Structure 1
Amino acid sequence: MVFNMVLIIVLIICVVTDIRKRLIYNKVIFPALILSLILHLILNGWSGLAASLLGFLIGIGILLIPYFMGGIGAGDVKLLALIGALKGPLFVLNTSIYMALLGGVIAICILIFNGGAFSRLKYYFHWLYAKKSGLTVPLAMTKDSLKSTYPYGVAIAGGAILSIVGKAWIS
């Protein structure tokens, strides 16, 4: 129960700062991480601390490659690692599944409602028709379309909330 309360407080703070400033602050993540490790050691002993550290490592591992590729920020990686440290390995794995699904839905909504989405879709249909007809037309992607991002901390937090209230994918 105490871990859920800490998690929800941290998620609220991180979502607000991620939406407003596109940052997830270390001064929120690191104290919560230390508190998590101490509480796991006190309440669950060495096995609780080990599970917390394993969840932390799994949380880092899930988003490490997207971070190195430049697709996600370091704050997002640390937030998922904190979720793993607070709730353990299975919880962070379930959170990552919900996070990916929710992140995809958010990305699709941004593509649909962002200006120019329908003209790009029309262009892709013309490209497919040209491809079918044997013509080679380059699939043009503007640099702006490759740089559009959104605060992924929202998807991470939504995934964690869905893991708390929803059905576990991995048990």
Structure 2
Amino acid sequence: MWFKLAPDAWQTLGLTALVLLVLTALVFDLRERRIPNTLVLLTLGAGLVVNLIGPQIWSSGSGLLSTYPGAIGIKGSLLGAVTGLAVFLPFYLLRAMGAGDVKLMAGIGSFVGPAAAINVALFILVAGGMLALVRMVWVGKTQLVLFNVVTALGQYVPGSVARFNPATQSADRMPYALAMAAGLLAYGAWIFSGHAPLVNF
């Protein structure tokens, strides 16, 4: 290792980089309703670098989002990226989430590793559901959203003629980077307030 950082300093550096990148994605998603591939690649690359230059602790539960911070190395970073991608990929295939959101989750996974990526994704999904409910009520489209949910689920029932196209029938589109930022923040607060991860391996 040519570059040494104390665990606390490394964690502060890594978390700062991750938060800035996710907030930048949020700004793009709010303004343009998309997350650029360049930003996704930058996030993925930054996650790999952060876990390459950090103190290698190699203990269970270590990582960026840990009370015992330590880098997980290139292998752990890549596994985190693949895990983040795999967790959100089904939502993209169901057309419930954009490709940029899925790729950004892979970038987040490269920072935090596979176990934390699953935990962050769970918090993001809860945050996304809560924000969607608030937005649904706020814009007054509760009936249309519920109709779309029933139609979307109904198309998977054998013999059903219901078809749902999110591109043309969606009641509203929430910038999902907002849920990603909120979920990441919530999971960080959960861990650093002394709670154990929901999933750990």
Match of 1:156 in 2: 180
1:60-99 equivalences under 5 Å are 60-99=85-124
Question: Can you give the 5+ residue segments of structure 2 that lack an aligned partner in the other structure?
Answer: 1-10, 57-70, 148-163, 192-196
**Deviation, structure 1 residue 116:** 4.4
**Deviation, structure 1 residue 32:** 2.6
- Superposition RMSD in Å: 2.7
Corresponding letter in the other structure for 2:39: V
Percent sequence identity over aligned pairs: 28
For these two proteins, the number of residue pairs brought into alignment is 153
Inter-partner Cα distance in structure 2 for 1:71 and 1:12 = 22
* TM-score of the two chains, using structure 2 as the length reference: 0.67
Match of 1:55 in 2: 80
Question: Can you give the 5+ residue segments of structure 1 that lack an aligned partner in the other structure?
Answer: 125-140
Larger helix proportion of the pair: 1
**Deviation, structure 1 residue 145:** 5.5
1:5-154 equivalences under 5 Å are 5-43=16-54, 48-117=73-142, 120=143, 146-154=170-178
Give the secondary-structure state (helix, strand or coil) at the position aligned to 1:61: helix
1:3 aligns with 2:14: yes
* 1:47–1:169 CA distance, 2 compared to 1 (3 A): closer
Inter-partner Cα distance in structure 2 for 1:151 and 1:116 = 17
